[in-house]
């Protein structure tokens, strides 16, 4: 690992450092050669983190030592870090608004650049209709070599990952928080399985506990890695719609499963179709839009 990458990873470990703080620091010092000399007052200009700004210089030095120790343990724990400046960083992800400065990864990182990818998202309370739709749509897509991306949440996310594994496909999970803090706990076993033969990603260092705002933020990565996003089920106000909106803003394909007007879990998907998402009833509805990738 070169010195610049080490410094960038160190910078990302500082408490609550924002995307914009890193951007401003890189703009002033593109090689991060002065990182060692930065003090809490320097971060005050770049981040609103009260936790960081309250540090005294001596505490800041001790925190830097702790960071170095954490980074040394990555190899032991088979965690790889792909920075924005590395050749392995997915070109498609660089197209989004505020692409992550680094991806902390465990598993098969060759999946980062395997195309095409399809994001599959939906309700954490998947109905029988949603489950049946996943079993109908995904196997043929997987057979065609499409990599399934989701967020390892309860419901549709977990079902999409599991269906992909069961059908011999490849799947990528983008999580909120760090790799040492899988959420929800119910999916720890699934995450462990994916870390062996698939891929689990986070933009946060491994020891980061998931915060509420991490969940909508990670959705931009789920859609950003993917040529298209498929919404299975969602209420009118749903986090899954955030992912779909990111896909729209990034100029990616958006697919939506229609549902009954009497089912609240179809209100979001039906609304998305009204706004121009492609109505999906068969795997071919998706494949014909992704044919340029095949």
* Residue spans per domain, the chain: 3-105, 107-293
Q: What is the mean pLDDT of residues 54-71?
A: 64
Count of CB atoms situated within 10 Å of the CB of 240: 29
CB burial of residue 212 (10 Å; 0-12, 13-18, 19+): exposed
Residue 60 pLDDT exceeds 90: no
Count of CB atoms situated within 10 Å of the CB of 269: 31
Pairing of strands 199-202, 102-107: antiparallel
Residue 148 corresponds to which tokens in the numbers above?
A: 């399934």
Tell me what pLDDT residue 113 has.
Answer: 95
- Cβ atoms of 10 and 71 within 8 Å: the answer is yes
State pLDDT tens for residues 84-111: 999 999 999 999 999 999 999 999 999 9
Q: Is 276 left (phi over 0), alpha (psi -120 to 50) or beta?
A: left
Q: What is the mean pLDDT of residues 231-235?
A: 93
Q: 162-198 b/e with 16+ CB inside 10 Å = b?
A: bbbbeeebbbbbbbbbbbebbbeeebeebbebbbeeb
Model confidence, pTM: 0.90
Q: What is the mean pLDDT of residues 248-253?
A: 90
Q: At 39, is the pLDDT very low, low, confident or very high (cuts 50, 70, 90)?
A: low
Q: What is the mean pLDDT of the chain?
A: 89
Q: At 62, is the pLDDT very low, low, confident or very high (cuts 50, 70, 90)?
A: low
Tell me what pLDDT residue 21 has.
Answer: 87
Tell me what pLDDT residue 53 has.
Answer: 46
Q: DSSP readout, 116-175? A: -EEEEE--SS--HHHHHHHHHHHHHHHHTTPEEEE---TTHHHHHHHHHHHTT--EEEE-
Tell me what pLDDT residue 293 has.
Answer: 45
Query: When comparing pLDDT for 161 and 51, which is higher?
Result: 161
Q: Is 122 left (phi over 0), alpha (psi -120 to 50) or beta?
A: left
* CATH code, 107-293: 3.40.50.450
Residue 34 pLDDT exceeds 90: no
Task: Give the residue from 79, 78, 100, 77 showing the smallest Cα distance to 89.
Answer: 100
Tell me what pLDDT residue 103 has.
Answer: 98
Q: What is the mean pLDDT of residues 8-37?
A: 87
Tell me what pLDDT residue 176 has.
Answer: 95
State pLDDT tens for residues 165-183: 999 999 999 999 999 999 9
């Amino acid at each position: 690992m070169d010195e610049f990458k080490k410094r960038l990873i160190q910078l990302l470990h500082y408490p609550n450092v924002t995307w914009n703080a890193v951007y401003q620091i890189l703009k002033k010092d593109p090689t991060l050669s002065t990182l060692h000399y930065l003090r809490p007052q320097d971060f005050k200009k770049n981040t609103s983190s009260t936790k960081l700004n309250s540090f005294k210089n001596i505490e800041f030095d001790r925190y830097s030592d702790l960071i170095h120790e954490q980074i040394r343990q990555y190899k032991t724990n088979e965690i790889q870090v792909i920075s924005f400046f590395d050749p392995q960083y997915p070109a498609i992800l660089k197209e989004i608004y505020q692409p992550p400065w680094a991806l902390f990864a465990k598993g098969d990182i060759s999946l980062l650049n395997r195309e095409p990818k399809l994001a599959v998202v939906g309700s954490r309370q998947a109905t029988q209709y949603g489950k049946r739709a996943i079993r109908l749509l995904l196997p043929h897509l997987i057979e065609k070599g499409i990599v399934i991306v989701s967020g390892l949440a309860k419901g549709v996310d977990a079902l999409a990952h599991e269906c992909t594994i069961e059908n011999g496909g490849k799947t990528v999970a983008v999580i909120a928080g760090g790799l040492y803090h899988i959420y929800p706990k119910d999916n720890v076993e699934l995450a462990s399985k994916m870390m062996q033969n698939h891929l689990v990603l986070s933009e946060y260092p491994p020891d980061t506990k998931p915060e509420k705002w991490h969940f909508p933020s990670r959705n931009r990565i789920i859609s950003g890695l993917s040529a298209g996003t498929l919404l299975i089920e969602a209420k009118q106000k749903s986090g899954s719609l955030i992912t779909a909106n990111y896909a729209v803003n990034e100029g990616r394909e958006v697919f939506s499963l229609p549902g009954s007007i009497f089912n609240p879990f179809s209100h979001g998907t039906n609304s998305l179709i009204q706004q121009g998402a492609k109505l999906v009833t068969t795997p071919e509805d998706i494949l014909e839009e992704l044919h340029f990738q095949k």
